[in-house]
Structure 1
Amino acid sequence: MSPSPPVPDAGDTSTSRGRGIRFAGVSKAFIAGNGARTSAVREVDLEIAEQQFVALIGPSGCGKSTLLRLADGLLEPDTGRIAIGDAPPRPGPAIGMVFQNFRLIPWRSVRDNVGFALEGRGLDGTELKQRVQAQLEQVGLAGWDDHYPAQLSGGMRQRVALARALIGRPGVLLMDEPFASLDAQTRELMQDDLLALWERQRPTVLFVTHSVDEALLLADRVIVMGGGAVLEDLPIHLPRPRRSTDARRAAEYSQLREHLWSRIRDLVLADPASAFFGRHVQADGEGG
């Protein structure tokens, strides 16, 4: 993806360059159909600095996606407080969101899907078109304006979703396993593209993933979650700007990967809901 100038802000004061995120004593539970109460997030204290890239990792059901939805204002915490900058979170242009399943509008063109994020913002047609075109160039989709989602590959659809999330210059970008459905090669290329886009615009990013390698490549910090709680906050000091091939050559990368994978593996093996639960116990028994 070739470098291109930043997308103009169009004077939108509702967005900013990297807002901090703060969770203070945040808990959230859900009530199942049978009336059982399930604790999804438990007393989370977490502060993310402006323009920082933070990855959340942990076993399925550990509270990662719930924490993301709390940060977006889509859910209210049962206890505790959340702040984006100095204000409680609320869905809107200051927060961009990218999901695993793209969530594109099938009857809209690429241009109109990306421009959808700016509708109601008071831009005239010419300015809107210019901003959409500039953002499409940044994600490598120049010339695809008039195509529809069904005509695009999975990687291209996710580029459209990313362009839509970034076009409003959000201070915060929340990403819920955005590359999980892509093939390995496309996923790695998208990771490099995301890093390049983040270097240009510098939003604060909270990124949910199940991949240890993805977390290490992208993040300044990796937050390990288990049972709805933050178990570890691991700083990543790999130099920036990063590319996947360079990062993996670093000696520190291998050490961090071994540490994180060991931590995640132990959490999965200790989870009664996991298909792998108890295997370590069996192995110990066989060794005796």
Structure 2
Amino acid sequence: MSPSSRQPGEDVSAASRGKSIRFMGVSKGFANSNGARTSAIRNVDLSIAEQQFVAIIGPSGCGKSTLLRLVDGLVAPDGGDILIDGQPPRPGPATGMVFQNFRLIPWRSVAGNVGFALEGLGLDKSALSARVAAQLEQVGLAGWAHHYPAQLSGGMRQRVALARALVGRPGLLLMDEPFASLDAQTRELMQDDLLALWERQRPTVLFVTHSVDEALLLADRVIVMGGGRVLEDITISLPRPRRSTDARRTADYGPLREHLWSLIKQLVLSDPASAFFGRQG
């Protein structure tokens, strides 16, 4: 996350309310190595209500990650409009971002990495330290504030990345395959922890994943993408609060999983390169 441009003394707690998102005919392309234009997003229309947890799935190259970068304001659409609470997107503390590869600053401590997201907000030192300490407590790292990233396990580093994204009390949390590099047991624990944090703070979440099970466990809605388009928008009615073991026992889980996996398999088989050659996601 980038330091904010907010003025000193401005109340950052106002950023904590979940944000609404609207895509209206949004398209985005990129130049390939030959200079030709490749379409990543094609005429996407989508509305997401505040505080919703939305998972985005689809094969590699379908436009999932591009969608997140458009919402964060890191890139601009070639056509159409995106509105966050009625305004064009712009980077800042109202939006948190969590990546697969952690992106921690190696020479900063755990507290220093989390506190980086608050720099430029005009908080005095004691207020900043208190905010960081409270967020580390929430992610289970209260005793690790003075350690450095190299001293942490992969799961702990991802907790630091999550704390950094949440410490500014964002109304919008963007997550790009954040648990993909973790082992299976750690990944399941992180999923449960993320749900607990979301239930407490209730930002709007866009969560990119290749895992059908992860999408079903976490989300209110699952958006299936293929070829840069939204192919299906499925409401997930599994009861909340959810935990990984409980969700899989519900009667609806099996049919939902079978339907989603069938869609993904069809997409992969229709374009095998998307699954094996890691085109832009």
Between the aligned partners of 1:243 and 1:179, the Cα distance in structure 2 is 16
Between the aligned partners of 1:256 and 1:121, the Cα distance in structure 2 is 43
Map 1:1-288 → 2, pairs under 5 A: 11-12=11-12, 15-274=15-274
Q: 1:168-191 CA deviation, whole Å, 9 max, x = no partner?
A: 000100000000000000000000
Between the aligned partners of 1:199 and 1:192, the Cα distance in structure 2 is 11
Between the aligned partners of 2:139 and 2:152, the Cα distance in structure 1 is 14
Q: 1:62-90 CA deviation, whole Å, 9 max, x = no partner?
A: 00000000000001000000011111001
Between the aligned partners of 2:37 and 2:112, the Cα distance in structure 1 is 42
Q: Give the TM-score, by structure 2 length.
A: 0.93
Query: Does the 8 Å CA contact 1:14/1:93 hold for their aligned counterparts?
Result: no
Query: Does the 8 Å CA contact 1:99/1:178 hold for their aligned counterparts?
Result: yes
Query: Does the 8 Å CA contact 1:55/1:223 hold for their aligned counterparts?
Result: yes
Provide the aligned length of Structure 1 versus Structure 2.
Answer: 269
Q: CA deviation at 1:159?
A: 0.3
**SS of residue paired to 2:142:** coil
Match of 2:279 in 1: none
Between the aligned partners of 1:273 and 1:99, the Cα distance in structure 2 is 24
Query: Does the 8 Å CA contact 1:58/1:264 hold for their aligned counterparts?
Result: yes
Q: CA RMSD in A?
A: 1.5
**49-58 vs 118-127, which moves further:** 118-127
Q: CA deviation at 1:215?
A: 0.2
Q: CA deviation at 1:203?
A: 0.1
**SS of residue paired to 1:25:** strand
Query: Does the 8 Å CA contact 1:98/1:176 hold for their aligned counterparts?
Result: yes
Displaced runs of 4 or more, over 6 A: none
Distance change (3 Å), C-alpha of 1:207 and 1:105: same
Amino-acid identity (%): 81
Question: What amino acid sits opposite 1:267 in the alignment?
Answer: L
Q: Which has the higher contact order (CA 8 A, sep 6+)?
A: 2
> Where does structure 2 lack aligned partners over 5 or more consecutive residues?
1-9, 277-281
Query: Does the 8 Å CA contact 2:59/2:275 hold for their aligned counterparts?
Result: no
Q: CA deviation at 1:155?
A: 0.4
Between the aligned partners of 2:29 and 2:193, the Cα distance in structure 1 is 36
Q: Give the TM-score, by structure 1 length.
A: 0.91
Between the aligned partners of 1:77 and 1:225, the Cα distance in structure 2 is 17
Q: CA deviation at 1:14?
A: 5.8
Q: CA deviation at 1:11?
A: 2.5
Between the aligned partners of 1:222 and 1:242, the Cα distance in structure 2 is 16
Q: CA deviation at 1:141?
A: 0.3
Distance change (3 Å), C-alpha of 1:85 and 1:274: closer
Q: 1:218-263 CA deviation, whole Å, 9 max, x = no partner?
A: 0000000000000000000000110000000001001100000010
Q: CA deviation at 1:13?
A: 6.0
Between the aligned partners of 2:95 and 2:45, the Cα distance in structure 1 is 20
**SS of residue paired to 2:47:** strand
Distance change (3 Å), C-alpha of 1:274 and 1:207: closer
